[in-house]
Amino acid sequence: MTLRASKTNQSKQTAELRNSVPAGMDEAMAETKMRTEPVVVTQIAPAKAKLTLAEVRAKLDGQTGRRFWKNLDELAETESFQQLMAEEFPRQAGSGEWVDAVSRRGFLKVMGASLALAGLAGCTKQPDEAIFPYVRQPEDLILGKPMYFATAHPFPTGAIPVLVKSDAFRPIKLEGNPEHPVSKGKSDAFTQATLLELYDPDRSQHVLHRGEVSSWGKFQQEFAATAQETKGGQGIYFLSGTITSPSLAAQWKQVQQKYPQAKLVQWDPVNQDASRAASKAAFDDYRDAQYKLEAADVILSLDADFLGGIAHPGFLPLAAAYAERHRYAEGKTPNRLYVIETMPTVTGFKAEHRLALKPSEIGSFAQTLASGSTPAFAHAEQQMFFAALVADLKANSGKCVVIPGEQAPAEVHAAAYALNSALGAIGKTVVYTPTVNPLPSVQTEELKALVADMNAGKVQWLVMLGVNPLYSAPADLNFLDVFNKVPTTVHLGSHVDETGFLSVWHLNQAHYLESWTDARAYDGTISIVQPMIDPLYQGKSAHDVLQALLDNPQASAYDVVQANAKTYIQGDFATGWRKALHDGWVDGTAFSGATAMPKVALNAVPSVTKTSGYEISFRPDPSLYDGRYANVGWLQELPKQVTSLSWDNAALMSLGTMGDLKVEESDLVEIIVNGRKLTAPVLMVPGHPDGVITIHLGLGRRVEAGRVGAGVGFNAYTLRPSDAPLYASGATVKKTAGSYDLCVTKVHNIEHRGSFAQHDLERPESDKDGVYSLAGHEAMERAIIRYATLDEVKKNPNFAHEGGPGSLVNKVGYSPQGETPKHEDSFFPDAWHYDKKDVSSGQIQNAWGCRST
Amino acid sequence: MAQVFDRSSNALARFSLVLSGIIVIALGVTLNSLQRSPWVTRQGQRPDQPIPFSHKHHVEGLGLQCQYCHTSVEKSSYAGIPATKTCMNCHSQIWTNAQLLEPVRQSWATGESIQWIRVHDLPDFVYFNHEIHVNKGLGCASCHGRVDQMPLMYQQNTLQMEWCLNCHRNPGVNLRPTSEIYNMAWAEPSRDKPVWCGPTGKAGTTAQSVACTTEDPKNANPEVALLQANETVQTSRSQPGMVAHGAGSLETDGAPLGAIAMPVSYRRFTSQAELGTYLTAQYHIRTPNELASCETCHR
């Protein structure tokens, strides 16, 4: 977690990057928070001579064929890349700090003291240690053995059912619930990282009233008393994140009965508005799509990153079904994936056929596809792709499916409905069910209405439940201005964040691992979210806030959830409730297989409007989502999918765009959308379409975000217009002075290190000293990653084992007789069956998006 | 100018050279013995506990079984310190007004833990697991000493790394039948007191595959011997009042009756060396090489 530049050292730099923050406020906040913040001094040495675009082009010129590479330097085999590797492998390099006598001596001198002290530490007398045994030990607890409890991680796109490993009733690890029909034991990066979020020391620990420590009781009283004085709740507005809990929705209905004038606005900066708007038009009601990829031979993704993470609804079952159908086995035809997308994603990388289009072009491409009209594309490549796609979809009618992305515009969703309908996919590979979220809405529209009401002075109480609009609201709404017009603002949040800091009341929110609630998973199955630990800071949940207005304000979230569970748990309630808590889901709550049919009425295909300027595509960050995980170190240091960027975000663009702008990687560019400016460093992404820049939301949090997240990257929300939250057209981009070093994890790959470690060595026939690494040797003899096309596999199904142990004789790293090591000589005598790794049947074939830190 | 040093200085200089050598050596010896001294290791020290709990009284006097309090010793890395409730099981009935037990009643009334001082305190970088030791034939007394004779608990052994390694390099010397784990007075087999062991023919955990007895199975009723073998519970009553039913908790998945017809072939052991070798094989104890490897304890 040390790559973060210190706040003080970097303040100038970050101020430059976050230029839209009102300066006065920022400084004031910085002062109040800075004193307690430890200064993390980490200077990243500026990279040596960077590879220029021209060099890359020169190197790439005339190169074709299959070659795997992970970054441009490596591709071009530049000197600086060799240097980087040399530092890691001094033995080969013959230079570098370890072999350099002076440097090594200096190192030992410095380390000598620490080493000596480290040795001494082992000799000190241990202090007395107390034992605090239980007074009454829980019956089934065996101290030292973990216990497992089922719960679910509520996420806007659908809950992820988890099994929590708990040591002495402290959650220590989250994994997918293996018995749950949706997660089947799998989980994702966000879910895993919520554990660290629970133990985040920056979490808010108190109820604050105008910055002073107050109490929940005082808030409850004041809130209930004011509400009673209003006319039916007039002037009381709730601004909540996407509500995922059926119980919370039921509670809201009760509040509405008592206070019919009170209003609820749900809004998340990254939302499903496009899909909601399209489904409202097509079904007269909000619908969610559930794809059955196990039945699909051909899949078309229209900017849907359904293999990338839970930002796409149903990631876990979709990825599992896709992988199962994609796995190669003899006599089985793997499915085929077409992906049309802007920003390259892991889904795009898995695709057999991928077409990179600008966001604006994806809509017209999809509609052209749906209308069956003859397209007029600029490029022959697009024309070919289109023709092949149409033919393939038609040939596989009823066995294909079109998946629109949640961040793709509404017309893409409309086209997907039409296509799925025309191709006979509905009912077979896709069903349209009621929404996973109990109170669906088009959120940006609602937010705009709320801002209008706030502006008109109609809002007396603004109760914000788990949202952070002062950080993430679209820039043109000027949320801070209207926020200041509301007399009483209440913020329920896990941190005293940008919004909590300025709110009149701040209520510290309980983590989902500390609270009772419920949520639906992708297939509609309801899970009860049960607390794993007593709230660390007596936090409250949205249930408690709503309950404060109701007749029985003392009812706990547990009472509320249990009361509502009676509506969906069938049979004997006590048994059913216990079973639901034990299993992690409620039987029979999945949506029925019945599907709604969309009214397919396509508008005339709009002619492709040539927009001037660049398009800016706003995407949730692959690691931090909308910024809610900014203070989770695990996710900050997680190299982002595709770019391998960590602790930062960048203006992601293609080589062509870089050429247009005459910039190199790490140069700063100024992006101007509707007069709002943002400065961002440039990072090249191979496969990105020209003329469009992707920027990830969720970074550039201010100092209130916490010690980890503050000041990392730049805040793309400051550029985001409310009328075009997905992508903005007509942006001006120009190079500006300065440069910024991005943290890109480059080559942490065993194959790579291995091949480098061996590349300049003589390779003797046998290795009697055991100094040569098997991995390295293998990398030279035969790649660790072995690949073959489908046709090649059919011809030679055993291709992956060729040159493996037993087949190479008298080679370094292998036994002289070509035998596998004896049991007692092996490093992993029992756990490692190298020969049984069935690579050819697609073990690696289906590994994607693997990331570790 | 007169000589600054006279001739006797030569001798002084030589002597001081020798002396400084001696000082260096003495310092080394002192530090070494300091490091091994009970002052550092706390061997034999009896810390001030909130209650002067006597293991001697409860174990030897009353015959409480180790696991009555240390419940998880067979199941977990941590043997477990009894909850206040465990004390109150009896002390809500007897010695209800004893001054010594005031902290127990206090804890019971307030819900605050009794704050014991840890006697056996391994550094946090050492991974130790009771479960594996107990289930592979290492008795409580081998590490903790004769707890049944300790009025106040103290640490019998140094718990230093050399002490751990002594056994890990040659585990055979301390192995005993798993049925004798909780027998504080277990003595290694000798010519006078031999031990008979034989395979039970049972699958399952290693401890179940072998049965041992301290009474000559030939003298006993053969049926009894068979039954004993089948039950795997072979207890010796070398010390009256001692409860040694450790293995009694092992599951008894009765072998099919047909198998009983095969008489158990007992082997007689008259020395620990023989028994150790036999049990090492039977209990699948890892080789000294694996046991003494760093990652066994420093994970």
Closest CA–CA distance from residue B9 to any residue of chain A (Å): 37
List, for residues A738-780, the tens digit of each pLDDT value: 888 888 876 545 445 555 555 555 555 555 555 555 555 555 5
Is residue A298 scored above 90 in pLDDT? Answer: yes
**What HEC string does B87-117 produce?**
HHHHHCCCCCCCHHHHHHHHHHHHCCCCCEE
pLDDT per position as a tens digit, B177-186: 888 889 888 8
CA of B277 vs chain A CAs: smallest distance (Å): 20
Does residue B168 sit at the A interface (CB-CB below 8 Å)? Answer: no
Is the pLDDT at A791 greater than 90? The verdict is no
Q: pLDDT band at residue A610, thresholds of 50, 70 and 90?
A: low
Chain B residues touching A130 at Cβ < 8 A:
115-118
Task: Render pLDDT for B265-274 as a digit per residue (tens, 0 to 9).
Answer: 788 888 899 9
Mean pLDDT, range A216-231, rounded to an integer: 91
**pLDDT by residue (tens digit) across A312-343?**
999 999 999 999 898 877 778 889 999 999 99
CB B84 within 8 A of CB B113: yes
pLDDT of amino acid A55: 65
Of the listed ranges A43-52, A348-357, A538-547, B216-225, the one predicted with least confidence? A43-52
Q: What is the phi-psi region of residue A668: left when phi exceeds 0, alpha when psi lies from -120 to 50, beta otherwise?
A: beta
Phi-psi region of A133 (alpha: psi -120 to 50; beta: other; left: phi over 0): beta
Distance CA A342, CA A304 (A): 10
By a Cβ cutoff of 8 Å, what residues of chain A touch chain B? 122-123, 125-126, 128-137, 142-145
CB within 8 Å: A130 and B116? yes
pLDDT at A520 over 70: yes
Q: Which of A720, A746, A744, A748 is nearest to A652 (CA)?
A: A744
Pairwise CA distance, residues A505 & A220, whole Å: 11
**What per-residue confidence (pLDDT) applies to A268?**
93
* Complex-level ipTM: 0.79
Q: Is the pLDDT of residue B244 over 50?
A: no
Residue that the structure tokens 């009935």 belong to: B93
Split at pLDDT 50, 70, 90, the class of A7 is very low
Selected for mutation to probe chain A from B31, B39, B40 (highest A CB count within 10 Å) is: B40
pLDDT of residue A104: 56
> B117 and A128: CB-CB below 8 Å?
yes
Residue position matching structure tokens 């600086």: A80
- Residue B118 has its nearest CB partner, among A122, A131, A136, at A131
Top-confidence residue, A40 or A599: A599
The angle at the Cα of A477, spanning A474 to A482, to the nearest 5 degrees, equals 130
Q: pLDDT above 90 covers what percent of chain A?
A: 43
Pull the structure tokens for residue A513. Answer: 């691992």
Give Cα A808 to chain centroid, integer Å. 43
Q: Are A663 and A64 in contact (CB under 8 A)?
A: no
Higher pLDDT, A12 or A812: A812
Classify burial at A700, counting beta carbons within 10 Å of its beta carbon; exposed 0-12, middle 13-18, buried 19 or more.
buried
B78 chain-A contacts, CB cut-off 8 A: 143-144
Helix (H) or strand (E) holding A270: none
Tell me the mean pLDDT in the region A15-23.
Answer: 37
Say whether pLDDT at A31 is over 50.
no
pLDDT band at residue A198 under the 50/70/90 scheme: very high
- Whether the full predicted model's pTM is greater than 0.80, yes or no, is no
* B58 secondary structure, DSSP code: I
User: Chain B closest CA to A121's CA: distance in Å?
Assistant: 11
pLDDT of residue B124: 86
Q: Which two tokens stand for residue B177?
A: 């039948």
Between A45-54, A139-148, B81-90, B118-127, the lowest mean confidence (pLDDT) is in A45-54
Q: A126 to chain B: which residues are within 8 Å by CB?
A: 42, 121, 123
Q: Please give the angle made by the CA atoms of A64, A67 and A71, to the nearest 5 degrees.
A: 105
User: Mean pLDDT across chain A, nearest whole number?
Assistant: 79
Residue from A128, A129, A135 to probe the interface with B (highest B Cβ count within 10 Å): A135
Residue pair A630/A701 in contact by the 8 Å Cβ criterion: yes
Kindly list the residues from chain A whose CB atom is less than 8 angstroms away from the CB atom of residue B118.
Answer: 128-131
pLDDT above 50: residue A210 = yes
Asked whether residue A521 carries a pLDDT value surpassing 60, the answer given is: yes
Closest residue, chain A, to B45 (C-alpha): A128
pLDDT in tens, A364-420: 888 888 887 776 766 778 888 888 898 999 999 889 999 999 999 988 999 999 999
Radius of gyration of chain B, Cα coordinates, nearest whole angstrom: 26
Nearest-CA distance from B107 to chain A in Å?
A: 7
The predicted model gives A699-717 an average pLDDT of: 88
pLDDT band at A784 (very low <50, low <70, confident <90, very high): low
B114, closest residue in chain A (CA to CA): A132
Q: What pLDDT, on the 0 to 100 scale, is given for residue A741?
A: 85
Tell me which residue in A122, A128, A144 faces B77 most closely, judged by beta carbons: A144
Alpha-carbon distance of A343 to A716, in angstroms, equals: 16
Q: What is the DSSP string of B140-202?
A: HHHHH--GGG-SS--B-S---HHHHHHHHT-GGGGB--GGGTT-TT-----SSS-EEEEE---
Alpha-carbon span B194 to B213, nearest angstrom: 9
CB contact under 8 A, B84 and A133: yes
Residue burial A471-491, b: 16+ Cβ < 10 Å; e: rest = bbbbbbbebbebbeebebbbb
Which residues, numbered 121 to 140 in chain B, qualify as contacts with chain A under a Cβ-Cβ cut-off of 8 Å? 121, 123
User: Is the Cβ pair A133, B78 closer than 8 Å?
Assistant: no
Q: Is B88 on the interface with A (CB under 8 A)?
A: no
Evaluate whether A90 touches A98 at the Cβ level (below 8 Å): yes
- Note whether B40 contacts A: Cβ–Cβ < 8 A: yes
Which of B42, B80, B123 is the closest to A143 by Cβ?
Answer: B80
Task: Give residue-wise pLDDT tens across range A241-257.
Answer: 999 999 999 999 999 99
Q: What is the mean pLDDT of residues A559-569?
A: 92
Question: What is the pLDDT at residue A777?
Answer: 54
Residue type, A650: A
Task: Match 């034989």 to its residue by tokens.
Answer: B198
* Local confidence band at B110 (pLDDT 50, 70, 90 cut-offs): very high
Element spanning A289, H or E = strand A288-291
pLDDT for residue A380: 79
Average pLDDT for A122-148: 85
| B179 CA to centre of own chain | 14
Question: Which of B40, B76, B117 minimises the CB distance to A145?
Answer: B76
Going B127 to B132 to B138 to B140, the CA torsion angle's sign is positive
Q: How many CB atoms lie within 10 A of CB A415?
A: 29
| Higher per-residue pLDDT: A757 or B64 | B64
Say what the pLDDT of residue A833 is. Answer: 52
Least confident range of A230-234, A391-395, A554-558 = A230-234
Residue found by looking up tokens 């946090």 in the block: B124
Given this model, what pLDDT does residue A53 score?
60
- Does the beta carbon of B84 lie under 8 angstroms from any beta carbon of chain A? yes
**For A496, which DSSP code?**
-
Are A134 and B40 a contacting pair at CB < 8 A? no
pLDDT confidence band for B198 (50 / 70 / 90): confident
Instruction: Please check the confidence at residue A154 and state whether its pLDDT lies above 90.
Output: yes
Residue A18 has pLDDT above 50, yes or no: no
Lowest-pLDDT choice from A99-113, A197-211, A487-501, A696-710 = A99-113
Q: What are phi and psi of A191, to 5 degrees?
A: -60, -45
Per-residue pLDDT of A163-184, as tens digits, reads 999 998 999 999 999 999 888 8
Q: How far is CA A241 from CA A124, A599, A669, in A?
A: 53, 30, 33
Per-residue pLDDT of A430-459, as tens digits, reads: 999 999 999 999 999 999 999 999 999 899
Contact criterion met (CB < 8 Å) for A126 and B42? yes
Identify the pLDDT of residue A110.
Answer: 64
Residue B108 contacts A where some CB pair is shorter than 8 Å: yes
Fill in the DSSP letter of residue A766: -
Mean pLDDT of A203-212: 92
Among A120, A129, A137, A140, the residue to mutate for chain B (most B Cβ within 10 A): A137
| pLDDT over 50 at A10, yes or no | no
B117: chain A residues, CB-CB within 8 Å:
128-131
The minimum CA-CA distance between A825 and chain B, rounded to whole Å, is 12
